[in-house]
Structure 1
């Protein structure tokens, strides 16, 4: 799994490649990273407790309850996709790493 720092750096590089590295879009990346971290916390909770878990009702009876982290993770994921769309980033518009590296090398040759 990619580390948060690597994801953020990748998003920033994509903005830079598009010539859109401005404060507004950097703020959106910060928002994306917040959702990214929350999403992974929800995944950890789902791995720990499962999609459902047993709990005790106010009447003292055991019952199976849906893990709210499942719905929350879905909401976070949708918001992350919306942020990527707002940034104009998709699989069709991504700048491949080899193109980034070539661009960096070309700049060094100047």
Structure 2
């Protein structure tokens, strides 16, 4: 899934609802910023895992929770909040015959 495709889809859904105004387009931009952050957090979790080894200040190896996991939850929560603010949900999907399923 490409970032531009997601953005275009959100804008199209707003247009279909007659809600393509500056305020909502700005929220779409915020959503896309969070989308980029989410991708980076997911990459970090895939790379380091949910828990990773680190050394304490005195050199003892210990397990640490990856803070990206908690941040991913917060980012997802904020993204869902933006979708609610935009009034976009699966209940109101407008399908065109040209759209792929």
Question: TM-score, normalised on structure 2?
Answer: 0.95
Partner of 1:56: 55
Larger Rg: 1
Q: Where in structure 1 do 4 or more consecutive aligned residues deviate above 2 Å?
A: none
Partners in 2 of 1:51 and 1:97 — Cα distance?
40
Partner of 1:93: 92
Q: 1:59: how far off?
A: 1.3
Q: Mind listing any 5+ residue stretches in structure 1 that lack a counterpart?
A: 103-110
Partner of 1:47: 46
Partners in 1 of 2:37 and 2:93 — Cα distance?
24
Partners in 2 of 1:79 and 1:97 — Cα distance?
28
Partner of 1:19: 18
Q: 1:94: how far off?
A: 1.5
Partner of 2:65: 66
Q: 1:72: how far off?
A: 0.4
Q: 1:97: how far off?
A: 3.7
Count of residue pairs brought into register by the alignment: 99
Mark the CA change 1:16 to 1:66 in structure 2 (over 3 Å): closer, same or farther. Answer: same
Question: Secondary structure of the residue that 1:42 maps to in structure 2?
Answer: helix
Partners in 1 of 2:81 and 2:20 — Cα distance?
18
Q: 1:95: how far off?
A: 1.1
Partner of 1:77: 76
Are 2:40 and 1:38 equivalent residues in the alignment? no
Question: Secondary structure of the residue that 1:92 maps to in structure 2?
Answer: helix
